[in-house]
Amino acid sequence: MDKKFNKAEWDLFVVALKEEARTVLREVGSSTDPEILVKESLEELEALARRNDGKDNRSDEKIWTQVRELLLRAAYATRPYCIRCGTCCTKGSPTLLEDDMELFNRDVLKPEHLMTIRAGEPAYSNQTEELTATPEELIKIRETGGKTCIFYERSGSNCTIY
């Protein structure tokens, strides 16, 4: 614990973190222990705690929004399989990996389904939820209606290619 934190406030913060972790884990369908999620995310979570240095002017609501977003990202990463909720599909299309070449070999993916993001171009990051410069060239599946993957079928929360 950083010396800038009041011990009682920090202890209360940790209890609240575990309860929020329990909520988001249930929401994303993960059976991970909330204490483990908090422990694995503690360094990032600690950075979000209010500082008693007089320079932190964030509202409690803003802090808890940031905490919840961080815990949600961590909770999604604990799922060993897709639960077909559509969250990933509607927050941005996938970036293709070498394993996705099989989709081209089977004629599932075609060049017109793709877009290229050049190194240095701004792109939305699902992890930070903001525009950031892309560190390397990426090939992604095109999106429709904002950030939804063109292969996402809303009616059944299905991906039509994976």
Task: Reply yes or no on whether the pLDDT at 150 is more than 90.
Answer: yes
Q: How confident is the model at residue 120 (pLDDT cuts 50, 70, 90)?
A: very high
Q: What is the mean pLDDT of the chain?
A: 84
Q: What is the mean pLDDT of residues 150-162?
A: 84
The size of the chain, in residues, is 162
Nearest one of 140, 31, 162 to 86, comparing CA atoms = 162
pLDDT attached to residue 156: 77
Task: Reply yes or no on whether the pLDDT at 126 is more than 80.
Answer: no
Task: Reply yes or no on whether the pLDDT at 47 is more than 90.
Answer: no
Give the residue extent of every domain in the chain.
7-78, 87-159
- Residue 139 CA to residue 116 CA, distance in Å, equals 5
Q: Which residues contact 40 (CB under 8 A, 6 or more apart)?
A: 74
Q: What percent of the chain has pLDDT over 90?
A: 25
